[in-house]
Amino acid sequence: MGRILVTGGAGFIGSHVADALLKSGHEVHVVDDLSGGTTDNLSDGVVFHQFDIRSDQAAELFERYEYDTMMHLAAQMDVRKSVADPSFDADINIRGTLNLLEAGRKSGLKKVVFSSTGGAIYGEPDYTPQDENHTLQPLSPYGITKLATEKYLEYYRHQYGLNYVALRYGNVYGPRQNPHGEAGVVAIFSLRMLAGEPVFINGDGLQTRDYVFVGDVVTANLAALGYDASGIFNVGTGIETDVVQLFRIIRENTAASVDEVHADGQPGEQRRSVLSADLAARELGWEPEISIKNGLRKTVDWFVEQRAHEAG
């Protein structure tokens, strides 16, 4: 089994990926600056390095440990923050990535599995579900930096023979999710309802996303790890869920007595997003297995356990 570096491995998705790799017998190293992640997410057996991916120390890890593969999940992932501060977004998502890629290709790195974005990279759909041939029209600096990273990965493949798989995620949700970023609506709704606090739906609540459970995202990463070629694949369910539906399912699971209250909509918010994962099914042998109802139930159950643990 190989030695693998998981960037952002103390975060929501990255920690689940690190756990799965560890269980598969890999030597797993995590680099994370803990700006969004927490060491509580790290399992015993993971080698942890607390560095910013833009730092010289993060780059030096490649020379020291000669990783076979990098699972690259570290990112500035808040769409609204990217709009407010595009330079900060690009500094982390592009310069940070290039720092690691340069170090990696000099030390024999063989493969990168990159966490890209489906919703933010395609923009408003010309057709649904959006497949990998859909026009790329990102509407935020975050989407632009993810697209730019895909192009850099293709450059490194062409120039240095560094294989890569870019996984364009739908809106990922599940245990360990924090209430930040666009997809954080599941965590926000769950935590507020469990605490008996009011919940607000932006606009009419009919804006849709392709919500994909974190466990399915993990299996997509493992499938990408075993893929012999390079490529770009959507990771989604092909099913649209609007925010009102999401609200009602979570309310049912929490048994909360909260009204459906609508607030002002977010300016510039994308209206629809839904991804076709047919290519991933054909090439990676991957398909989502967890329905939105089952996934939300698992997520709410986790938040209930966390609240009980925190209460002592």
Residue 181, Ramachandran bin (φ over 0: left; ψ between -120 and 50: alpha; else beta): left
DSSP run (H or E) holding 48: strand 47-49
Pairing assessment for the beta strands 111-117 and 69-72 based on DSSP bridges: parallel
How many whole angstroms separate alpha carbon 162 and alpha carbon 117? 21
How many whole angstroms separate alpha carbon 215 and alpha carbon 222? 11
Q: Is residue 142 annotated as part of the catalytic site, yes or no?
A: yes
How many whole angstroms separate alpha carbon 302 and alpha carbon 177? 10
Catalytically annotated residue among 142, 156, 164, 227: 142
Q: What does the angle CA 124 – CA 168 – CA 88 come to, to the nearest 5 degrees?
A: 80
What per-residue string of b and e applies to 92-124 under the rule 16 or more CB within 10 Å gives b? bbbebbbbbbebbbebebebbbbbbbbbbbbbe
Q: Look-up: residue for tokens 């245990």?
A: 175
Catalytic residues: 142
